[in-house]
Structure 1
Amino acid sequence: MATDGADDAPDPRRVADTRCHTGEGPLYHPDEAVVYFLDIPSADLYRYDPAEESHERVLDSEGAIGGFTIQESGELLLFCDEGRIQPWSPESGLGDPLVESIDGESESRFNDVIADPEGRVFCGTMPTPDGEPGTLYRLDTDGSLSVAVEDAQLSNGLGFTPDRQELYFTETEAGRISRYRYDRATGELSDREPFLDASDLDGHPDGMTVDAEGCVWAAFWDGGRIARYDPDGTELARVEFPAKKVSAVTFGDPDYGTAYVTTALGPGEGPAGTREEEGDGAGALFEVDLGVEGVPEFRSRVEY
């Protein structure tokens, strides 16, 4: 297991030398045995094939795509700008939006999403340019939307505890990861408690995942690393990357023994930097053996 400064810390390997403005949202698709990931502001969807060690851009859309889930059918469900939610598959391309827009989100976009055990989707939005906070929504399987968390300070990484009774939720601008009581029967969230106060840490908490041992792996934007935390919030390990803006982490491969990590050249709403400024791996997709397995992400089962 990697530890800060340890000689045996794993060495991340660059597997897709994309130069993503804001690489994000990696997710392993077990049906296809590939990793999908995004460049948010350009609405580019990439697919990396570990067996072939090759990648390709499979969708160059308009607007922005902030996150996606895998539907039970194998299609992807894309969460985009202005609150638009739209299916996509390699065979049929973009489908008709099941949500065209959300009131109050015309100047915003989705930023990170996760399916729950029942096929619902928790989907968070960015703050608006005039300073209005974001919102964490819940998309139910019938296609209806409701507010799960108001006044979110830049919605970001999400993950469930192994017992499926709690949900982690990252607010990047607040520099915190919270843990909510989660009611699987209703999808309701309650009883927020602090999990990680990152206000004094280097960088800002971004995307995250939960491994098979119930520990949280968080990416740190402008922190150049991912870090592992046990359920009481104690840091156990960290892995450094040749990129300042480390944005998200997921587990993949058939045994979920490989971690895939996205990075960025710049913020989603500003100009991209250069690799001289941001690190020689900025904007690329990496893989790394963390010495622990992950678990499959839940699939969405939203009707459309």
Structure 2
Amino acid sequence: MTGESPTPDVVADTRCHTGEGPLYHPDEAVVYFLDIPEADLYRYDPAEGSHERVLDSEGAIGGFTIQDSGELLLFCDGGRIQPWRPESGLGEPVVDAVDGEAESRFNDVIADPRGRVFCGTMPTPEGEPGTLYRLETDGSLSVAVEDVRLSNGLGFAPDRRSLYFAETEADRISRYRYDQATGGLSDRETFLDASDLAGHPDGMTVDAEGCVWPAFWDGGRIARYDPDGTELAQVEFPAKKVSAVTFGGPDYDTAYVTTALGPGEGPKGTREEEGDGAGALFAVDLGVGGVPEFRSRIEC
């Protein structure tokens, strides 16, 4: 990406409290995304230029993956994990609840090359830290990282030997050595110390050239970093709370970016406070493409 910074375009003006988790579904050629506290799942069709709310659930939905079958796997409040299909709606939960997460919820998730899912939780209202779990393909859960200070964006390096992981309240993105055979994470190092930057690292993706694109909550932007942590570019948005970014389209050459009107778990704000595009889904050509996300293979 070189030259003048691209201009993002609003493609779905949903005015989400907390828009999050955009993910391109290649089978349907659409982008799914969430309004977390409203438990709303949206679908944007780039070919038609239209969007619709396809699920209005209860509680909260913090993230989702696309299964090999094409259905979505939703990660919700209290540790509930539940499949959803456009044709038939919600299926039976894979996991009903997670011990210690009754007052929390899942936040951001990612499928790995073997079909497992890394899924993080929020801190509890009492201030207990979150956890990054690993959901195995048989539906069992294990702890991947403890004492997480607000689990957020995840992304794999192209060689599949590293996993990037954002902790929003710690103002850092870590890089872990990733063992594809076991799903194990080790040798954490700080990839980006964001403590002196505007905003806090939120959702993220990795582009086709191996550069990392985090969104910055209360920073009004996404930014590109090369694998040694050097900032290469920024793209600003008319929204303070930029929450997540993904690549989509048949060639994965369009970036889709979610934003928010609300301050986390608090009440929804206004556009006078949060920016003219707050709560909308944006599309932007970053001059670099992405790659398809891995699909989960969890037994449902």
TM above 0.5: yes
TM-score normalised by the chain length of structure 2: 0.99
- State whether structure 2 residue 283 is matched by structure 1 residue 283: no
Partner of 1:66, secondary structure, is strand
- 1:69-108 equivalences under 5 Å are 69-108=65-104
What is the SS of the residue equivalent to 2:245? strand
* Residue 33 of structure 1, aligned match among 14, 29, 36: 29
In the superposition, the TM-score normalised over structure 1's length comes to: 0.98
- For residue 46 of structure 1, the aligned residue among 24, 42, 49 is 42
Looking at structure 1, the residues matched to 181 and 299 of structure 2 have their Cα atoms a distance apart, in angstroms, of 18
What is the 5 A alignment of 1:1-304? 1=1, 8-304=4-300
Query: Are the equivalent residues in 2 in contact too, given 1:23–1:39 (CA < 8 A)?
Result: yes
Q: Quick one: which amino acid aligns to residue 32 of structure 1?
A: E
Letter in structure 1 aligned against 2:245: V
After TM superposition, where is structure 1 displaced by more than 6 Å over at least 4 residues in a row? none
CA distance in 1, matches of 2:173, 2:263: 20
Question: For the residues of structure 1 that align with 2:242 and 2:275, how far apart are their CA atoms?
Answer: 11
- Secondary structure of the residue that 1:261 maps to in structure 2? strand
**1:126 deviation in Å?**
0.2
Distance 1:137 1:57 in 2: 29
| Alpha-carbon distance in structure 2 between the residues aligned to 1:220 and 1:107 | 26
Q: Which digits, 9 at most, give the CA deviation of each residue in 1:209-237, with x for residues without a partner?
A: 00000000000000000000000000000
Alpha-carbon separation, structure 2, partners of 1:269 and 1:259 = 26
Secondary structure of 1:276's match? Answer: helix
How many residues matched? Answer: 300
Percentage of identical aligned residues = 86
AA aligned opposite 1:61 = S
Measured after TM superposition, the shift of residue 269 of structure 1 is: 1.0
CA–CA distance in structure 2, aligned partners of residues 187 and 63 of structure 1: 30
CA distance in 1, matches of 2:243, 2:265: 15
